[in-house]
Structure 1
Amino acid sequence: MSADRIALKGLRARGRHGVLAAERELGQEFVVDATLFLDTAPAAAGDDLTKTVHYGELAQALTEVVEGEPVDLIETLAQRLAEVCLASELVHKVEVSVHKPAAPIPLPFDDVVVTIERRRA
């Protein structure tokens, strides 16, 4: 398998994910990083967008998930985002991080991040 990667980092979208009622009502910003592992050689050889992942379309699809149906856990959100990335048959592995910088923690902190790695079955 190729070690080529396409990374989309710092994608921001507002969602209503969390276990607290206030999180569901008010929503908050989530930040997504996605790294897709695929072979980019065919796309490069023919300068052909159809042989790679269109990162603009990917960004839109990931944003729709974040802005969509609320879930309790960012682990669940990360799984849904990974499934979107793996929808392209070109992608054989994905690493997704979901950042929740406004998590309801009553202590000073910089960020909460869940990172998952999923492979094509």
Structure 2
Amino acid sequence: MSDGAAFRRMFIRDLVLDAAIGVYAHEHGRTQRIRINLDLLIDDEPPPSLMSRPAVGRDDLARVVDYETIVNATRASVAAGHVQLVETLAERLAEICLADPRVARTRVMVEKLDVFPDAASAGVEIERRRRS
């Protein structure tokens, strides 16, 4: 992002999926509930005087990062097969988010929801940025 650039933050909150994940023998051959949170910082260069321009062209999906595309790719990645580490899954999801060249930075949180009976979750959060 350049100095003075506009940005927007897009997010996906609390996407709960069944995932084949884990390093231990008891985690293989079954799925576990995971929760995914994605935050994307997006370069956003709106046209000048957006409010004074006609509505045609402003309300256009091509102008934005489509969250449905991100969610569908996330679901496909989780469904692709067994992953040992939540860290590996988080890295894969960060790559998905950064695949759109407008995404400058992403924060990905992956949590296992049923690991400990006395904890809501256990997991990892990573932040990755586009290399210039």
TM range (shorter): 0.7 to 0.9
1:35-74 matches, within 5 Å, as 35-42=39-46, 45=50, 46-74=58-86
Matched, 1:11 2:23: no
Segments of 5+ residues of structure 2 without an aligned counterpart are 51-57
Within 1, Cα distance between the matches of 2:36 and 2:127? Answer: 14
Contact 2:16 2:34 (8 Å CA) reproduced: yes
What's the TM-score once normalised by structure 1's chain length?
Answer: 0.88
Mean Cα displacement is larger for which, 82-91 or 47-56?
A: 47-56
Deviation at 1:119, TM superposition (A): 0.4
Q: Give the SS at the match of 2:29.
A: helix
Q: Give the SS at the match of 1:80.
A: helix
- For residues 18-51 of structure 1, the C-alpha deviation after alignment (integer angstroms, 9 at most, x for no partner) is 00122121111111000000134539x5222112
Q: Per residue, is there more helix in 1 or in 2?
A: 1
Segments of 5+ residues of structure 1 without an aligned counterpart are none
Within 2, Cα distance between the matches of 1:50 and 1:21? Answer: 45
Contact 1:16 1:25 (8 Å CA) reproduced: yes
Q: Name the Cα RMSD after superposition.
A: 1.7
Q: Which one has a bigger Cα radius of gyration?
A: 2
Mean Cα displacement is larger for which, 66-75 or 89-98?
A: 66-75
What's the TM-score once normalised by structure 2's chain length?
Answer: 0.81
Contact 1:13 1:67 (8 Å CA) reproduced: no
- The aligned residue for residue 116 of structure 1 is 126
- The aligned residue for residue 29 of structure 1 is 33
Give the fraction of aligned pairs with identical amino acids, expressed as a percent. Answer: 35
